[in-house]
Amino acid sequence: MTARLTAPNPQLNELGKLKHLLTLEGLKQHHLTEILDTAESFIDPNTNKIKKVPLLRGKSIMNLFFEPSTRTRTTFEIAEKRLSADIESLDIQTSATKKGESLLDTLWNLQAMQADMFVIRHAESGAAHFFAQHVAPHVHVLNAGDGQHAHPTQALLDMFTIRKKKGDVFDLKVAIVGDILHSRVVRSQIQALSILEAREIRVIGPKTLLPEHPEALGVHVYHDIEEGLKDVDVIIMVRLQNERMKSALIPSEKEFFKRYGLTEKRLALAKPDAIVMHPGPINRGVEIDSAVADGPQSVILEQVTYGIAVRMAVMSVIMSNAAQLAQHQAEQEQSALAEENAEMENPQ
Amino acid sequence: MQQLDIDVSALLETMSGQLNEKMAQRPNPKMIGIRTGGEWIGEALHQRLGLQEELGLIDISFYRDDFSRIGLNPQVKPAHIPWDIEDQHIILVDDVLYTGRTIRSALNEIFDYGRPASVTLVVLLDRKGCRELPFQADVVGMQLECQQTIKVTGPDPIEVTISEKAEVSA
């Protein structure tokens, strides 16, 4: 037996297809484009409406939100309903101290209620991984945001929005502005942009809100927003994650806006057809001016709508992969059985 | 293996004639093709009949009854129905009618858009005798036996190759 050089990706099944979606890290371009292409087919090209289809009828999906959420939770719920799944949403506030055990107990209880898929939002990085390690083999886990680690469906819907507006992510210059340090969304966005081979990824923010070695992420770093926005095709603004800041990292919100807020004047430095994105919730007058958020270049609300189609796609692709794996296993069993029979008929 | 080639345009000609007659009772019909083969046949018939409204298209991948067994078709495309289905006479077109399961899926999808006044089913080839659901076509280009395998390629030209299934050796 040969030793494995790399640990297997825990979110892929033995055919190399997505079983869970925990992070975009380590995924290949085809994993992402399969989801983005499938999302496309859920949107009626004439009305831009998202269809309801019977794809996951009879499947049970549980949304476990250990951390508050409006957009992600609601769009997940809508996506599940549009796929005709049976859904249950739980608000679970846990005490930080006895998380380990209580989390597992919660998991096993919910699994006993015959869930096929868990959608998990948790303040602790790695919570979704933890769940994925302990669920039964037929149960799937989707990360809806874990601590400062990852928010893969948000990054996927951002990529989908860019594709819809710009045709392709490839060859674009993308600037991400704001609190880079604390944002799980940014981490996932950078991974997605790299996997889809964006031409240039820039992060813009004060030193205190950037990780220690941002270059290691494969990005260009700017501390001056005016310099950083020059000639970009896409601007992604992210909010200050005040709840995750453990010390005073910025002088004040007013000061932050003065130095890093996206105004019409600054927007004019980007390409004339640049789009402005924001994963929400937006803080008007902190990281973005209302004139820009509500302006013609803003696609912030379209991101929300596309989030439904993209989440439908993630769930369908994962369920589809499970069906194909089962089919594959059945075929293998059958051929093994046939071989066995042949041997019995023709003993050597 | 025995192969026989089929004159598709002659079949389409006959079919559009029959369809024209049927449509006397069902005026101003709108046509929907089932991707991908039904789209090709639909386009050819749509042109021959000179229908006013654009050809609608559906992809039944999201409505199949075997999703939990075979998963999703990776080439699934969005439906394209650019007009109202409510109270309209619909001509539903596919290349091959076999088990009937595709038609069941297609009707489900159509009814998600509205309640048509009627649905007329048109197929180029009908593999009679292997139906699993109770569907029959109103207009058929050609009847075939269940044992024959069919390959339809297109869109220009649409070609059909039929071959007898090879005997399965015991």
Q: Do A82 and A166 sit in the same domain of this protein?
A: no
Residue A4 has a pLDDT of 46
Q: Do A315 and A285 sit in the same domain of this protein?
A: no
Chain A / chain B CB contacts < 8 angstroms: 53
- Would you call B73 exposed, middle or buried from its count of C-beta atoms within 10 A (0-12, 13-18, 19+)? middle
For residue A163, is it within any domain?
yes
Does A239 belong to an annotated binding site? yes
Q: Do A135 and A209 sit in the same domain of this protein?
A: no
Does A284 belong to an annotated binding site? no
ipTM of the complex: 0.77
Cα distance from A324 to chain B (closest Cα, Å)?
5
DSSP letters for A134-160: HS-TT-EEEEEEETTTB-HHHHHHHHH
> How far apart (Å, rounded) are the C-alpha atoms in residues A125 and B12?
62
| Cα–chain center distance at A102 | 26
Q: A131 φ, ψ to 5°?
A: -60, -45
> How far apart (Å, rounded) are the C-alpha atoms in residues A12 and A29?
14
Q: Do A157 and A296 sit in the same domain of this protein?
A: yes
Are A41 and B59 inside 8 Å of each other by CB? yes
Residue A159 has a pLDDT of 98
Residue A94 has a pLDDT of 58
Q: Do A293 and A310 sit in the same domain of this protein?
A: no
Q: Which domains does chain B have, with CATH numbers?
A: 8-63+77-144 (3.40.50.2020)
Does A93 belong to an annotated binding site? no
Query: What is the domain range of residue A218?
Result: 152-301
**What is the pLDDT of chain A when averaged over all its residues?**
91
Are A41 and B74 inside 8 Å of each other by CB? no
For residue A176, is it within any domain?
yes
| Whether residue A273 has pLDDT greater than 50 | yes
For residue A128, is it within any domain?
yes
What residues pair up with A143 in beta bridges, in sequence order? A120
For residue A182, is it within any domain?
yes
Summarised one tens digit per residue, pLDDT across range A61-100 is: 999 999 888 899 999 999 999 999 999 998 887 554 455 6
Residue among A153, A95, A89 nearest A124 (CA): A95
Q: Do A135 and A178 sit in the same domain of this protein?
A: no
User: Which residues neighbour A221 within 8 Å (Cβ) at sequence distance 6 or greater?
Assistant: A202, A203, A204, A210, A214, A215
Q: Do A42 and A94 sit in the same domain of this protein?
A: yes
CATH number of the domain within which A36 lies = 3.40.50.1370
Residue A243 has a pLDDT of 74
| Whether residue A175 has pLDDT greater than 50 | yes
Q: Do A139 and A156 sit in the same domain of this protein?
A: no
| Whether residue A290 has pLDDT greater than 90 | yes
Residue pair B83/B30 in contact by the 8 Å Cβ criterion: yes
Tell me the torsion sign for CA atoms A294, A303, A168, A28. positive
Summarised one tens digit per residue, pLDDT across range A103-135 is: 888 888 899 999 999 999 999 999 999 999 999
**What is the pLDDT of chain B when averaged over all its residues?**
90
What residues pair up with B119 in beta bridges, in sequence order? B90
For residue A207, is it within any domain?
yes
CB neighbourhood size of B42 (10 A): 25
What residues pair up with A60 in beta bridges, in sequence order? A86
> How far apart (Å, rounded) are the C-alpha atoms in residues A201 and A176?
8
- How many structural domains does chain A have? 2
Residue B67 has a pLDDT of 87
For residue A340, is it within any domain?
no
For residue A16, is it within any domain?
no
C-alpha distances in angstroms, A207 versus A109, A202, A224, A254, A322?
A: 44, 14, 11, 17, 44
Q: Do A144 and A172 sit in the same domain of this protein?
A: no
Q: Do A184 and A269 sit in the same domain of this protein?
A: yes
For residue A3, is it within any domain?
no
Q: What is the pTM (predicted TM-score) of this model?
A: 0.88
Q: Do A176 and A295 sit in the same domain of this protein?
A: yes
According to DSSP, the β-strands at A200-204 and A220-222 are parallel
For an interface test with A, which of B35, B65, B68 has the most A Cβ atoms less than 10 Å from its Cβ?
Answer: B68
Q: Do A290 and A323 sit in the same domain of this protein?
A: no
| Cα–chain center distance at A231 | 27
Cα distance from A190 to chain B (closest Cα, Å)?
26
CB neighbourhood size of A259 (10 A): 14
Buried b or exposed e, range B116-129, using 16+ CB within 10 angstroms: beebbbbbbbbbee
User: Which residues neighbour A61 within 8 Å (Cβ) at sequence distance 6 or greater?
Assistant: A80, A85, A86, A87, A88, A115, A116, A117, A118, A119, A315
